Amino acid sequence: MARSSKSAETKKQNEYDFDMLNQWMVNGIIQKVLSTSDKLNTYKVDVPTKTPKGNISHAYILVKEFSSEAPFEPGTKVTITGNISTGSYQAKDGTTKYSQDLIAESIKELN
């Protein structure tokens, strides 16, 4: 997917590109395909990291990929580039729940 950007002529010297500040790149392993349709694939991705003591810690993130291609298989190692989307909703018990999703611009399989 190509990313549109402002031309050099329209960008002011001190103007910040906030879209680029929200850019994320993570390496992870597809744990589960949560849903798939003709335009959207949703994954649970394991992003393993090392703690200061050298132990492996696992963070699980929700990744949404707007694509008509077949979803990646669980266990596939990938690099994901995209933007964080935050939201909130009311749970059945009346409490407010918060969510963070990574909206993928690209997902590339690692060898």
**Three-state SS at 32:** strand
Nearest to 63 by CA among 48, 49, 84, 37: 84
pTM score above 0.85: no
For 8-16, what is the mean pLDDT? 41
User: How much is the pLDDT for 108?
Assistant: 94
Task: Kindly report, residue by residue over 31-46, the tens digit of the pLDDT.
Answer: 999 999 889 999 999 9
Instruction: For residues 111 and 109, give the distance between their C-alpha atoms in angstroms, rounded to a whole number.
Output: 7
Task: Kindly report, residue by residue over 82-99, the tens digit of the pLDDT.
Answer: 998 888 889 999 999 988
User: How much is the pLDDT for 21?
Assistant: 60
CA 53 centroid distance within chain: 27
Assess contact for 63 and 82: CB atoms under 8 A: yes
